[in-house]
Homo-oligomer: A and B are copies of this chain.
């Protein structure tokens, strides 16, 4: 721990060492007291700092205390974090009496004017606390990581959900699309950012720097990411694009093809990998904005581009096939699991019509209880207004894709003139737009 800056920490020291509020002002805090206080266990220092932050502390002092709080948080282990989250949930809650009073006034005369005090009473002090923690240097990323810890803790203790609601509410405001900036990632990007990118790529993992370079340096590739000013060099989401002359059905050629020196004839932009990076930003969506903006940038830079399409995984296909929702599915799943098709072309050719048909059903008919498409990637692209264009089997022979989707891939088509209507139809009544190739399979 760096030398504590004693200025501005008087309140914190007093809060840690105890003593009632009245007596605090009269106790002079000397360096010895401060050192003792700042050597107390991290959970004590943290909760004391949170209490001080909620008190009548000056704005400038607040920054120093927030810094101490985040430093102490960084020293907690998982169990201590769980305790701290519960403390936040229970100890920084709204005051029921204040709420009842404000509600009573509102209830008698429900206007915009009486709503204001009710809103103030209802807003959990936790949100204020998180905003104050956010005044410390580099706090935003630390708070995002804190929420990732919280999401992890919630798997054991779902009762922490109210605290998560506060995080999500604040992050939606802080990570407003208006604050994001898009940046092209290429071979002149700082190595520190590229290293993060490599670590965050999970759709089609990279094997090292040469693999990375293949994806962003050649003329036939583009790579874009969103950044937020408060999280600096941390990419929030990124998309990888290949410029081609037709709509690809397999991922391997995209990942391994030799570099193309020219893109002048490219007609098609293929979005073949989209990755969110920070677990702590779950529920704060950027993907649709990013795709829209990349389409706009590419269309402007390369007028020859006419088609904007994805080459996407089908991560829920194998599970659905095996689930028995469809009587014919289980049988096909068993055959695919045997794996003979992986080496026997005839076997693959024999199975293909069945896989295609089942895949078409999967994307157009398999639904969750709430009626959404069962495939999570499908939900994202269809929700953006894309059409399910063509199923591709086998499209990806990597282990992950075999396990999750028997190697199935799909193209979603982004057709600017139709995006909005398709989006509206999807949102309103769940209509799934399909492309001609997929429709042909369905009509067989």
Residues on A close to B: CB < 8 A? 7-8, 10-11, 25, 56, 58-61, 63, 89-90, 93-94, 96, 99-100, 103, 106-107, 110-113, 115-116, 118-119, 122-124, 131, 134-137, 139-140, 159, 161-163, 165, 170, 172-174, 176-179, 181, 187-195, 208-209, 213, 229-230, 233, 285, 288-289, 291-292, 383-385, 416-417, 419-421, 423-425, 427-428
- Whether A7 touches B288, Cβ cut-off 8 Å, given contacts A25-B424, A122-B118, A173-B174, is no
- Whether A417 and B288, one on each chain, are in contact in the complex, defined by CB atoms closer than 8 angstroms, is no
A48 to B12, CA, bound (A): 51
- Whether A421 touches B10, Cβ cut-off 8 Å, given contacts A93-B112, A191-B194, is yes
Provide the residues of chain B in CB contact with A427, threshold 8 Å: 56, 58
**How many copies altogether?**
4
Provide the residues of chain B in CB contact with A190, threshold 8 Å: 187-191
Closest-by-CB residue of B relative to A428 is: B25
Instruction: Find A140's partner among B135, B178, B420 (CB 8 Å cutoff).
Output: B178
- Whether A119 touches B122, Cβ cut-off 8 Å, given contacts A60-B419, A139-B178, A421-B10, is yes
A229 to B139, CA, bound (A): 16
Closest-by-CB residue of B relative to A421 is: B10
Provide the residues of chain B in CB contact with A208, threshold 8 Å: 209
Distance between A102 CB and nearest chain B CB, rounded to angstroms: 9
Provide the residues of chain B in CB contact with A137, threshold 8 Å: 178
Closest-by-CB residue of B relative to A419 is: B7
Provide the residues of chain B in CB contact with A110, threshold 8 Å: 96, 99
A61 to B421, CA, bound (A): 11
Closest-by-CB residue of B relative to A25 is: B424
Instruction: Find A112's partner among B10, B124, B383 (CB 8 Å cutoff).
Output: B124
Distance between A67 CB and nearest chain B CB, rounded to angstroms: 11
Provide the residues of chain B in CB contact with A112, threshold 8 Å: 89-90, 93, 124, 162-163
- Whether B292 and A60, one on each chain, are in contact in the complex, defined by CB atoms closer than 8 angstroms, is yes
A137 to B193, CA, bound (A): 25
